[in-house]
Amino acid sequence: MWKAILLGATVPLASRFPAPFYGLAWVLGTLAWAIQRRGRARIIRNLAPAFDGHEGMARRASLQVFRNVARYYADMASLPGMDPATLEARALDIVHNERLEVLKGDRPVIIVSAHLGNPEIAVQALAERGRPFAALVEPLEPPTYARKLLQIRSSAGGRFYEATTMGVHSAMRDLREGAVLALIADRDMQGRGVCVEFMGRHVRLPRGPWVIARREGALVVPMFVERRNRMRFQLFVEDPFEVDAEPVTEDEAVCRAAAHWATLLEEYVRREPGQWTVTEDYWRVHACEPEEPHGRPCCAKEYA
């Protein structure tokens, strides 16, 4: 309850006067890093593979993670005060803008991103290009806080759904009606993902984006976001790709797509480790065996 109350009280001020809240986010992120020893240790473990095991460098980058998590909430609190029509010009510098031409067609499109920078801002900024979008996000607790955050997320346009059975059904309906579907694919929330090689370790990444793309004939557009300054981001648009429909099986097609995605994800996490705002014990929570017990081997990099 207190999270919803705090968020509701902050939004009216932050949406009108965002600058002080970004300064406050920097301070709060720094304090949280200093106080939360267990959380700091988790993030250092998460980042260590990005620095080839160099703990000192991972420790320094962990401070950036705490600050960027706090800045994310400053982004959300200030979002309702932004004009959707000018959000792209105000918030984004786009690398390979020409690859976004796929948004002008009629083909289903799935944007896949990660917990880097603030992908929600990027997707919302692109909504003014003529196609609506729907996004699936992680269910949060308590429900009052989750509902308030969904309301704020939707304030600049688009529809955000929690990744529940009902939310997935709604998002699929929107995709089939012409909306762009936006998904985050660096955490396997369902525990039924694809085992891939990522930064020298074996982890599960979500199956959903690749299964949906294959079954719906959708084009996948990988996007990565890096924060440059407060509410200013650089958006990197990678080459769109298809998830093979023929002649391979669905498992093989999903494996190839997941391995390709893992290769891209590793490149961008290594570029800016301090912007990878995953705070769980990532390598423990998402660990998998190279050879799965039900005959599904790990999707090795040779598939990428």
Q: What DSSP state is assigned to residue 79?
A: G
DSSP state of 299: B
Residue 203 lies in a domain: yes
**282 close to 48: Cβ distance less than 8 angstroms:** no
Is 48 a member of any domain?
no
CA-CA distance, 244 to 234, in Å (whole number)? 30
Q: What share of the chain is helix, strand, coil (3-state, %, to 5)?
A: 55, 20, 25
Pairing of strands 109-113, 219-227: parallel
Residue 46: inside a domain, yes or no?
no
Strands annotated E in the chain = 92-95, 109-113, 133-137, 159-162, 180-184, 194-198, 201-205, 219-227, 233-237, 241-242
Which residue range(s) make up the domain with 162? 85-303
Q: What total of structural domains would you count in the chain?
A: 1
DSSP 163: S
Domain assignment of residue 40, yes or no: no
The answer to whether 85 touches 126, Cβ cutoff 8 Å, is: no
Predicted confidence (pLDDT) per residue in 41-65, tens digit: 999 999 999 999 899 999 999 999 9
- For residue 304, is pLDDT > 50? no
Does the pTM of the predicted model rise above 0.85? yes
pLDDT at 25 (0 to 100): 93
In the chain, % of residues over pLDDT 90: 64
* Phi and psi at residue 43, to the nearest 5°: -70, -35
Please state, in angstroms and rounded to a whole number, the distance separating the CA atoms of residues 167 and 97: 30
Tens of pLDDT, residues 180-226 = 999 999 999 888 899 999 999 999 999 999 999 999 999 999 999 99
Tokens of 193: 């993902």
Task: Give the range among 27-41, 118-132, 207-221 with minimum mean pLDDT.
Answer: 118-132
Q: Could you write out the DSSP letters of every residue in 171-237?
A: HHHHHHTTPEEEEE-SS-SSS--EEEEETTEEEEE-SHHHHHHHHHTPEEEEEEEEE-SSS-EEEEE
* pLDDT tens sequence across 246-279: 767 898 999 999 999 999 999 999 999 999 999 9
- Is 19 a member of any domain? no
Whether 23 is in a domain gets the answer no
Phi, psi for residue 47 in degrees, rounded to 5 = -85, -20
Distant-in-sequence, close-in-space partners of 28: CB < 8 Å, separation ≥ 6: 70
Q: Identify whether 257 is part of a domain.
A: yes
Residue 9 located in a structural domain = no
